[in-house]
Amino acid sequence: MQISDVFTIEKFRDKCFGPTELTTELFNKILVIEKGRGELELAYVPHTISRGKVYLIGKDKRVVFGENKISGYLLQFDDSFWQKTPLSANNCKEVLFNRSIDSFTLIPDKQHFDHLLELLELTYCDFELPDYSNKPDVLAAYLKVIIIKTANIHFLLKADTSSYDSKLFERFVALVSEKGNYLHKVDDHADALGISTRKLSDVCKSKGKNAKKMILQHLVNEAKKDLQFTSRSIKEIAGQLHFANPYQFSNFFKNQTGYSPNQYRDQFVKIGI
């Protein structure tokens, strides 16, 4: 069996990939874009190809190119070749080429991306050499390092995203507390934070929360506080919470608590609070 039957690495310059050029079903693929632009469809999801992106495509995954002219590296390997790599890299490979996930797209920072390019260039140069006795072992060692490096990039990006999302959630909580009296919609809070409504909803969901419910709960809590501890009229409370009129506020409060504002206030009057 030839090495190229189980492992290949291609260095390409200003290449135009055909629509279904990456159709080898048994190969896992790492596509690294050094320069150029184009379109790519992975598992029916469109992607814009651009410099600095790394695509990790598991075997049996559908790949279709649109218009493109790109430079970079394409590394492909099957599972039998992967068995040559040390067991210590197995977890990294399983994460990157999880059978339940169609693909990963990574956008590393310049330092990590340049280091990955160096590793790929070394691997490519060795691959192009005439065959020698332990060439498969050398290429497997390179593959192990590339996989571990790529997995580290993935985990770093995931950690950065998690940290960013945590800070974003904290800003949202502070915003609801500060301006929740008149920002009643998720859209309004997303605009104030400079992010999309979908992003805000996803961040809250990752924390086990619902953005809309958090906003509504703030309004309910503020209303309860005024009804319980102040003598403000229903009209005044409605105005303070930026409802269009007392009727809108009363309907909102009853929908959320099961009591009208007056019924809620009467409970505390009766027990002397």
What is the pTM (predicted TM-score) of this model?
0.60
Q: Which of 6, 9, 18 is nearest to 85 (CA)?
A: 6
**pLDDT at residue 24, as a whole number:** 64
* CATH 1.10.10.60 residue spans of the chain: 180-273
**pLDDT at residue 157, as a whole number:** 76
Task: Fold for 3-161, please state it.
Answer: Jelly Rolls (2.60.120)
Checking phi first, is residue 258 left (phi over 0); if not, alpha (psi -120 to 50) or beta? left
Is the pLDDT at 269 greater than 70, yes or no? Answer: no
* CATH 2.60.120.280 residue spans of the chain: 3-161
Lowest mean pLDDT among 22-31, 105-114, 218-227, 253-262: 22-31
**pLDDT at residue 71, as a whole number:** 97
Mean per-residue pLDDT, 83-96? 71
Q: Which of 11, 162, 154 is nearest to 93 (CA)?
A: 154
**pLDDT at residue 1, as a whole number:** 72
Is the pLDDT at 93 greater than 90, yes or no? Answer: no
Better-scored residue on pLDDT, 254 or 60: 254
Q: How big is the CA angle at 149 (ends 145 and 155), to the nearest 5 degrees?
A: 145
**pLDDT at residue 85, as a whole number:** 67
Task: Fold for 180-273, please state it.
Answer: Arc Repressor Mutant, subunit A (1.10.10)
Confidence of residue 99 (pLDDT cuts 50, 70, 90): low
Better-scored residue on pLDDT, 79 or 176: 176
